[in-house]
A = this chain, B = another copy of it.
Amino acid sequence: MSPGLVIHHFGSKDDLRVACDRHVAALIREQKSDSMRAGAGLDPMAALRTYSDGPPLLAYLARTLVDGSPHVSELLEELVADAVAYMAEGEANGLLRPSDDPHARAAVLLLWSMGALVLHEQAARLLGVDLLGAPDQLLGYLRPALEVMGQGVMTPDAYDQLAGAVRTDDAPAATGAEPTPTHGATPTQEA
């Protein structure tokens, strides 16, 4: 490809990127509605991976997510909305637990998934798994992820205790026993 070509067709390199963003967004949407028509809540990302051009497309997604392209941001919002619908269905079927805030829960889960995608290089170091690679390589990630998603990491007692501290009364005012409610900004290492 010659440099002049992209200008002729897209006006500028930036406009090409916008077109690409739009294209991946469209592809993922399409893939998503495909799997919706097929069987209930098949993950479109997983389905994408089986596509021939899935992994490179995911790689592009991973790069684009961090620079806040408007089209990808929109896509994310749609994916959250879809996930809320799926999960409501899952709840009705007795598969998923109810949530205090289904939208927030779906958003957090999507952020985590996408975050792992963006950090695939780090995931490779930490887990020895290429998140952008073949589906069968993915178990090293899926297994611990499912463990957490399935049961959580905390015992019921510990959860009750912490859940009280994060109650809906926004300001850290009431209880008085614990002055600074800095229990853990990232949910990683509350121990």
Q: Which residues of A contact B (CB under 8 A)?
A: 40-43, 45-47, 49-50, 65-66, 68, 73, 76-77, 79-80, 82-83, 86-87, 89-90, 93-97, 99-101, 104-119, 121-123, 125-127, 135-136, 138-159, 162-163, 166, 168, 170-172, 182-191
* Docked complex Cα distance between A42 and B170 (Å): 21
Of B50, B119, B147, which is within 8 A of A65 by CB? B119
Q: Are B152 and A185 in contact (CB under 8 A)?
A: no
Q: Are B185 and A46 in contact (CB under 8 A)?
A: yes
* Docked complex Cα distance between A110 and B187 (Å): 8
* Docked complex Cα distance between A28 and B125 (Å): 20
Counting every copy of the chain, the complex holds 2
Of B76, B97, B141, B188, which is within 8 A of A109 by CB? B188
* Docked complex Cα distance between A99 and B155 (Å): 12
* Docked complex Cα distance between A131 and B170 (Å): 16
* A191-B49 contact given A143-B101, A155-B95, A166-B143, CB 8 Å threshold: no
Q: Are B42 and A182 in contact (CB under 8 A)?
A: yes
* A125-B95 contact given A49-B185, A139-B166, CB 8 Å threshold: no
Nearest B residue (CB) for A125: B73
* A149-B186 contact given A101-B144, A108-B127, A158-B96, CB 8 Å threshold: no
Q: Which of A80, A89, A189 has the most CB of B within 10 A?
A: A189
